[in-house]
Amino acid sequence: MSFTADTERMRRAADRFRKAGDETDEAAGVLATVTVPAGAFGASGPGPGIAAVLDDAVGRRTSRLRDRRARLADIAERIDQDADAYDETDASSAVEIERAGGVR
């Protein structure tokens, strides 16, 4: 029985994580442009407070999206590193097997 890691498939998965991160970053950029005008809910009473709460919520969501993008990029990098490690191990093992006289 032999085990072979499908490193090309791993790299395609890493690319999908990277793409999802890029799309998340794009969404964060769009959301960051959203502001709730102070007078949107009236100039007196609870109106300005409501606008400020909504504006703060948009800011928190934008920040979480940027954090998510960073995590997705980290996952992609780790998958790429694992694929590289598998490829290096396979290449090294092949050289050692040849030095030992090959597979009989």
Domains in the chain, please, with CATH? 8-89 (1.10.287)
The alpha carbon of 89 is separated from its chain's Cα centroid by a whole number of angstroms, namely: 26
Tokens in use for 19? 């793409």
Averaged pLDDT score across all residues of the chain: 90
C-alpha 88/C-alpha 85 separation (Å) is 5
For the question of whether the overall pTM of this predicted structure is more than 0.85, the answer is no
Instruction: Confirm if 21 and 77 have CB atoms less than 8 A apart.
Output: no
C-alpha 15/C-alpha 23 separation (Å) is 12
Instruction: Confirm if 40 and 51 have CB atoms less than 8 A apart.
Output: yes
Cα diameter, the chain: 87
pLDDT tens sequence across 54-104? 999 999 999 999 999 999 999 999 999 999 999 999 888 766 777 777 665
Residue 1 has pLDDT above 60, yes or no: no
Average pLDDT in the 6-17 region? 97
pLDDT (0 to 100) of residue 99: 73
